[in-house]
C-alpha cells in the first residue's frame, strides 16, 4: 500500500510516497481503507518542526512517525474478531491520533479510537476536514470560552479550518459573531453565520475597547497583550498556537478580570474526542455545521497540498484524496 512519509524535517519536498505492506488488524482493531486525509497548518508545523515544541511530540532529531496524517475519512475494510462497534462497509471519519498514520491507503485503528460513522451527505474529504477543525474548535468554544447566548465572540482567522467551524459553533451557541479574515472570504463568512466581518488588511480589531466576551485567535497571529483592551471585563482571549511570546503575555500582562488561555486540544483523551465527533455528526445532520472544502488534491500532489496550505490563503479545508 502507499504511504506518505518523511525521513527528516523540512519543507514540503521532504515528503515521499512509498509502498509498504498492508497492515492486518488485531482482534480489537478495525482496518480502514482511507479515502481522504486532511492537510492542515498543524501538519505543516510537524513536518518542518516549527515551532520547535513539536519536536517533543514527534522526535527531537528526526520524525519518529513513519506515516503522516491524522484526520481521515474512509470505509471499514475489515474488523478484528473482538470488534462489535463497527462492521465491514461502515463509512467513518475522525482522528487517527498522536501516532498518526492516516496518510496511507490503509490504517489499523483500535475499535475505541476517535472515529465515528459519517452522517449521510458528508463525503470522506469533508469528514477528514471537519474532524480537525471541529476537534480543535469545540473545546475552545464550549469549554474554554463557555460561549452562550448574548456573548459577542470575535474569531481571528475565521476562514481557516478551525475558524470556519468555530464561527458556526459560536452561532449555534447563540453568540453574536465577528469574523476577521481577508476581504475575498467575506461572503463565505456571512454565509456561515457571521454578523460582522472585519477585513484583516484594512482594519485592526485590537483597537476596539471593551467589545468582546471572547476573542478566539484561531491562527495565532495576535497575542493576549494586544487583544486584552478589546476584551470586556471578564472576557477571555483564546489561542491555538503555543508560542513563548503568547504564553509570556498570558502570565505577565494581566488586566482586571480579563484572562488569556492556551489549550492543547490535541492532547485530550481519545474518549472525549470520540464523544465530540458523535456530537459533530448530529450537528451536521441537523444542518448546524457544514463542511467548507477549499481544494482537493490527489495523493500524487501531496507536496503541492502542503505548499498550498502554507500560503495561508485557503478558505476552510484542504484534503488529499486516495483515488480508489
| Other residues' Cβ atoms within 10 Å of the Cβ of residue 8 | 10
DSSP class of 255: B
How far apart CA 153 and CA 287 sit, in angstroms, is 21
The three cell numbers of residue 28 are 480489537
Residues of the chain with pLDDT under 50: none
What is the pLDDT at residue 54?
77
Contact 12, 310 (CB under 8 A): yes
Taking alpha carbons only, the member of 40, 318, 319, 314 closest to residue 185 is: 314
> How many residues are given for the chain?
324
Per-residue pLDDT, 247:
64
Phi, psi (degrees; rounded to nearest 5) at 139? -60, -35
Domains parsed from the chain with CATH numbers: 2-131+269-321 (3.90.180.10), 133-265 (3.40.50.720)
Quote the pLDDT of residue 66.
81
Closest by CA to 49, choosing from 38, 37, 36, 65, is 65
Amino acid at each position: 500500500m502507499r504511504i506518505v512519509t518523511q525521513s527528516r524535517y523540512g519543507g514540503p519536498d521532504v515528503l515521499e510516497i512509498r509502498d509498504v505492506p498492508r497492515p492486518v488488524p488485531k482482534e480489537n482493531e478495525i482496518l480502514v481503507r482511507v479515502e481522504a486525509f486532511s492537510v492542515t497548518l498543524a501538519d505543516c508545523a510537524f513536518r518542518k518542526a516549527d515551532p520547535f515544541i513539536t519536536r517533543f511530540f514527534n522526535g527531537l532529531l528526526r520524525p519518529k512517525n513513519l506515516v503522516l496524517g491524522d484526520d481521515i475519512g474512509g470505509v471499514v475494510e475489515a474488523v478484528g474478531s473482538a470488534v462489535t462497534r463497527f462492521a465491514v462497509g461502515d463509512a467513518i471519519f475522525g482522528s487517527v491520533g498522536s501516532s498518526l498514520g492516516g496518510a496511507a491507503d490503509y490504517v489499523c485503528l483500535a475499535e475505541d479510537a476517535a472515529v465515528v460513522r459519517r452522517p449521510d451527505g458528508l463525503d470522506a474529504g469533508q469528514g477528514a476536514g471537519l474532524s480537525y477543525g471541529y476537534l480543535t474548535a469545540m473545546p475552545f468554544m464550549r469549554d474554554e470560552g463557555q460561549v452562550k447566548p448574548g456573548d459577542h465572540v470575535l474569531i481571528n482567522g475565521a476562514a481557516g479550518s478551525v475558524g470556519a467551524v468555530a464561527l458556526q459553533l459560536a452561532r449555534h451557541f447563540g453568540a453574536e459573531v465577528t469574523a476577521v479574515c481577508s476581504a475575498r472570504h467575506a461572503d463565505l463568512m456571512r454565509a456561515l453565520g457571521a454578523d460582522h466581518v472585519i477585513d484583516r488588511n484594512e482594519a485592526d480589531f485590537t483597537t476596539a475597547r471593551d467589545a468582546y466576551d471572547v476573542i478566539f485567535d484561531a491562527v495565532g497571529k495576535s497575542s493576549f497583550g494586544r487583544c486584552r483592551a478589546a476584551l470586556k471585563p471578564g472576557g477571555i482571549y483564546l489561542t491555538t498556537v503555543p508560542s513563548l511570546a503568547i504564553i509570556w503575555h498570558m502570565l505577565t500582562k494581566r488586566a482586571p478580570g480579563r484572562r488569556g488561555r492556551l489549550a492543547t486540544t490535541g492532547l485530550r483523551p481519545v474518549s472525549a474526542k470520540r464523544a465530540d465527533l458523535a456530537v459533530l455528526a448530529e450537528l451536521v445532520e441537523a444542518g448546524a455545521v457544514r463542511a467548507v472544502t477549499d481544494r482537493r488534491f490527489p495523493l500524487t500532489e501531496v507536496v503541492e497540498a502542503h505548499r498550498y496550505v502554507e500560503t495561508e490563503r485557503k478558505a476552510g479545508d484542504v484534503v488529499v484524496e486516495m483515488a480508489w
